[in-house]
Amino acid sequence: MPIKLRMPPILRPQIGGAREVEASGATLQDVLDDVFARFPGVRSHIIDDAGAINRFVNVYVQNEDVRLGDGLSTAVPDGGTVIVLPAMAGGAA
């Protein structure tokens, strides 16, 4: 079963306006690479120059924030769900 990757509104234009794309891979890194190969414009929004997940993007595998787990090495089960949500952040200074 394919993995579903759900995109936030800001990235939907990069994937043709859809809410989610199907992908394959055993780890989050594999799944993202599969998506980036088809939609190269998405990469810089999710991955920083050092190859890590962008500080202001939250990525969840099976509803768990990967930053609290194994990051890009997080295993993604067959038919699993990956959700990308940009931060809601700011402040007076």
Partner 1 sequence: MVTISRAIADQIVAHAREGLPDEACGIVAGRDGTATRFHPAVNGDPSPFRYSIESRDLLRIVTAIDDAEEDVLAIYHSHTMSPAFPSRTDVDLAFWPDAAYLIVSLASDPPDLKTFTIVDGRIARRELVIS
Report 43-82 residues binding partner 1 (CB under 8 A).
56, 58, 60, 63, 65, 67-68
34 vs 39: CA distance, rounded Å: 9
- Biggest CA–CA distance in the chain, Å, is 46
Task: For residue 91, give the H/E element and its range.
Answer: none
Q: Is 9 near partner 1 (CB under 8 A)? A: yes
Q: How many CB atoms sit inside 10 A of residue 52's CB?
A: 11
Q: Is 37 near partner 1 (CB under 8 A)? A: no
Q: Is 90 left (phi over 0), alpha (psi -120 to 50) or beta?
A: left
Choose between 48 and 65: whose C-beta lies nearer to partner 1: 65
DSSP reduced 3-state for 1: coil
| Candidate ranges 25-33, 35-43, 69-77, 83-91; the one touching partner 1 (CB under 8 A) | 83-91
Q: How far is the CB of 70 from partner 1 (least distance, A)?
A: 15
Chain positions contacting partner 1, by CB under 8 A: 8-10, 56, 58, 60, 63, 65, 67-68, 83, 85-93
